[in-house]
Amino acid sequence: MPLPEAVATIKAAVVVARRGLVERESLVEAIVLAAVAGEHVLVIGPPGTAKSEAARRVARALGGRTFEYLLGRFTEPNEIFGPVDLRRLREGVVEVETSGMLPEAEIAFLDEVFLGSTAILNTLLGVLNERVFRRGSTIKRVPLRVCVGASNALPDDESLAAFADRFLVRCFVEPVGDPFIETLLEEGWGVQGPPPEPVIGGMEALDELAAAARQVELAAIRPSLAHAVRLLRKAGIVVPDRRLVRMQKLVAAATVLDGRTLASGADLWPIIYAVPTREGQAVARETLAALLKSAQNEALAAAAAEASGGPLARAARVCEAGEAVLDARPAGDEPEVLQAWMRRLEGVAREIDAAFAPETLPPALRALREKVSAALSPAA
Amino acid sequence: MSVATVRWVRREPPLSACGVAAVGPAATVLLLHLETRLLADSQAEPGARASTLSGIWGRSEPGLVVVLTGENPDLPWVEGLTYLGRDPQAPMLLLPTLERPDVPLEIYAAALRARTDTDGLLACLSGGNILVSLLAARPLGVAELRAARLGGA
């Protein structure tokens, strides 16, 4: 599959996955970024904030085999990895029947991931790190592209720090903000019914991009990456060396998801997601604001905008959202329906004028503003 | 006496909008837009006010000046508005989301307080040339909006 086609496929999958989710667009995109990079995601947030739903939708949109489980203190390893094959056990061999379990999943979601027992976490380490499942005499490669772990908070326990470090991408979510509660209720009600069909060729596109990411040329961007790390250290944010090296995989993934094979300054924004704490990410955004101002990404506009806060990424996200609102013009003349649509258009116009000076509008955003202004004019 | 000229520079990233201002013809258009919106909303729900919006308006040299505050999704849009936000370094000021003075904000805010001798939120418009106190801001109603638009503010 050619690179542009793979990017378009993933972009379509992201649109399908995000549908109906409110304020979770960047989480969905961060999961896709990690999947292309061959890394894993840790989502920290209170219960009921769509952490598992975001992972589920990505898996569904891509058509990947999924495994999902809520871990507890008393969860047995066989609940995650599969039961011991009793037939083989009678022959004196400990083998695990993994059918339908995590070792056969392409996308996994583990809720309350830090509650797992030592036995579970030790086995998970091998699965996450090397994509190899080892238990008894069962040793098999796993097709896992990305594991999304969720927890209410980062672990205090030092002994869990090494396990937590396997999740390179960190996303912090909060309940939907007050201004968006009506949208949450509307979207949540609207998504009842059968889930959307997966995008054709989703997993193939993901694998194509992952392979391309491994070949991305990073030499030109390494000085900027090193400069970013030094700025972070000066601001008191120390990213462990192992994370620094792996951070390059996120940058490479961002490059291919923007349709290129040569990394540039536009691809540095995933650095923010590699900073382990919420407070650290906030400081990192401010510290690296100048370095990240050219951040943008064709397939992951929301994640790029959220990570960088940069104007180009912001403009791309507003453009995408604005065009979707324009395309959703109601067919009929029902006044209340039309009025609701025009309020949404006002929201788009407001977001543009509040966030962009007229002389700095990129061409696509300027064109969108003209269309929105025309649609809102009394003569329309 | 030492004098400093305050210049306004581009702000990046922009502030999150929690208010909006209009001056001159844009202010008249804004008031008419809000009046129309309120009427439409009150047909759906009689007696409704414009959700969380409150505002203040008055006449000054450039003409009618309107400043509104409220939840971001409720802020209206027409051509020619200036969106306003609050910077944590000067929380009692409503500043344009896209600009800031090129002096430390705490000093700027203190100087404005001394100059205006007013408490409460203070909106800074037109490069600081128009200062609007929101102490007397009130919830919007159709009658008040119409009176303001027709010159009886």
Q: What pLDDT, in 10s, does the model give residues A22-44?
A: 888 999 999 999 999 999 999 99
What does the angle CA A325 – CA A174 – CA A50 come to, to the nearest 5 degrees? 70
| pLDDT tens, residue by residue, B77-131 | 999 999 999 998 899 999 999 999 998 998 898 888 887 777 789 999 988 888 9
Q: Do A95 and A82 touch, CB atoms closer than 8 A?
A: no
Chain A interface residues (partner B, CB cutoff 8 A): 178-180, 182, 289, 293, 309-311, 314, 336, 339, 346-347, 349-350, 353-357, 360, 373, 376
Mean pLDDT of B9-36: 91
Q: How many CB atoms lie within 10 A of CB A194?
A: 5
pLDDT digits (tens, 9 = 90+) for B12-21: 888 989 999 9
* Residue from the list B14, B71, B77 with its beta carbon closest to the beta carbon of A349: B77
Asked if A295 and A257 count as a contact pair (C-beta separation under 8 A), the reply is: no
Distance CA A208, CA A2 (A): 8
Q: Hey, are the CB atoms on A350 and B79 less than 8 Å from each other?
A: no
Q: What is the spatial distance between Cα A81 and Cα A76, in angstroms, rounded to a whole number?
A: 9
What are B's interface residues with A at a Cβ cutoff of 8 A? 10, 12-14, 17, 40, 44, 71-73, 75-77, 79, 81, 83, 85, 97-98
| CA-based nearest residue to B28, from B54, B53, B65 | B65
Nearest CA to A29 out of A46, A3, A7, A1 is that of A7
Question: Does residue B1 carry a pLDDT above 60?
Answer: no
Q: How far are the Cα atoms of A124, A312, A347, A351, B99 from residue B13, in angstroms, in the given order? A: 40, 11, 19, 13, 10
Nearest to A353 among B10, B13, B81 (CB): B81
Chain B residues with CB inside 8 Å of A180's CB? 73
Contacting residues for A330 by C-beta, under 8 A, at least 6 apart: A337, A338, A341
**A vs B: CB pairs below 8 A:** 46
Of B13, B14, B72, the CB nearest to A179: B72
What 3-state class would DSSP assign to A41? strand
Contact A223, A263 (CB under 8 A): no
User: Strands (DSSP E) along B5-120, which ranges?
Assistant: 8-10, 17-23, 54-60, 63-69, 82-87, 90-96, 99-101
| Residue A298 DSSP code | S
**Whole-angstrom Cα distance, residue A182 to residue B133?**
31
What integer pLDDT is reported at residue A94 of this predicted model? 86
Q: Whats the size of chain A, residue-wise?
A: 380
